[in-house]
């Protein structure tokens, strides 16, 4: 019985982590497209060129 509880807790935490990661990724992309947050990959490439 205890193993089932641990498995359920593990699966629920994995689901919650994936949902929060997806939400954070979507908000990061929305902030980049709105111009609030700069695209760091472009800045690194510009620093190498300059």
Question: How far, in Å, are 16, 22, 32 from residue 28 at the CA level?
Answer: 18, 10, 6
What is the Cα–Cα distance from 50 to 40, expressed in whole angstroms?
Answer: 15
* pTM (two decimals): 0.59
Q: pLDDT > 90: what percent of the chain?
A: 44
On the question of pLDDT at 44 being above 80, the answer is no
- Looking at residue 9, its pLDDT comes to 96
* pLDDT value at residue 32: 79
Res 30 pLDDT > 90: no
Q: Which domain holds residue 37?
A: 1-49
Count of domains in the chain? 1
């Amino acid at each position: 019985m205890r193993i089932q509880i641990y498995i359920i807790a593990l699966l629920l935490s994995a689901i919650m982590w994936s949902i929060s990661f997806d939400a954070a990724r979507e908000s990061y992309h929305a902030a980049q497209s709105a111009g609030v947050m700069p695209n760091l990959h472009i800045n690194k490439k510009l620093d190498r060129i300059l």
